[in-house]
Amino acid sequence: MKLFIKKKISQFFNFNQKNRDVPVHDSFKKNLYEMDQNTKQNDFLRFINDKQFKFTDDWITNKTNIMLNIFENYNINPKEILEIGVHEGFSTIFFQYAFKDFHTDVIDIFLNDTRKKFESNINIINPKNIDIHQTTSHNFLVNNKKKYDLIFVDGGHGYLDVIFDLFYSFQCLHINGLLLIDDYDWKDENKDKSVRLATNNFLDVIEGSYDAIHQGQFAAIIKKKNVVLNQQL
């Protein structure tokens, strides 16, 4: 992507801006998915309880009702899924519950004993459709040749980590593919850890190539056309 992204980012990044001052991006319309209770939500919670997965943290179940509504409303039925950042596998298990007949690539550096916990959880459902890549998202994405129907970005939360993952993920996404950006409302006093700011800047650059369909604890967009990102300005 050469100098294009660096120059574009410099146009948008305000070095005096704090996270609490970053507004929701203008492309997001009124939230349509907060109130409707999806019938599959309770089934998923029972599924988690019955299988006795072991999770230290749960950052997912409070988002799954909205995700299920999005999947149904936009007829999301992926054949290839990419997850950037999986921790102990909660999101991976959720996608295994939500969809059938698909393949998943998961990327994580797996600090400490996290990989053992991840593998222990996914082995409960004996998945043969998950490939684990223990590496950085940068190393994976710059060499990736595959295209995906759904990409869930929940890796490093630093500004540069997020915007890099988003640009490369968008390139890897099929037309009409779904990009889920976790922690859009994540806040930190350090602007370099602003997921929302990085996401907003990314959306400014790819203007006209996506439909913004949800913002809240995560953001969701649908890709509508490809964007050339390696042009010289």
113-168 pLDDT tens trace: 899 999 999 999 978 899 999 999 999 999 999 999 999 999 999 999 999 999 99
CA distances to 24, 92, 122, 150 from 104, in Å: 30, 8, 12, 10
Q: What is the DSSP letter of 32?
A: -
CB atoms under 10 Å from CB of 127, counted, come to 14
pLDDT (tens digit per residue) in 27-39: 997 665 666 788 8
Note the pLDDT of residue 4.
45
Asked if 103 and 174 touch (Cβ cutoff 8 Å), the reply is: no
The rounded distance, in Å, linking the Cα atoms of 169 and 136 is 13
Compute and round to an integer the Cα radius of gyration of the chain.
Answer: 17
CB atoms under 10 Å from CB of 105, counted, come to 19
Note the pLDDT of residue 31.
63
Note the pLDDT of residue 2.
43
Handedness of CA 166, 109, 126, 97 (dihedral sign): negative
CB atoms under 10 Å from CB of 145, counted, come to 5
Q: What is the mean pLDDT of residues 64-73?
A: 94
Structural domains of the chain, ranges and CATH numbers in brackets: 4-12+29-223 (3.40.50.150)
pLDDT of 226 over the 70 cut: yes
Tokens of 114: 């996290």
pTM above 0.85, yes or no: yes
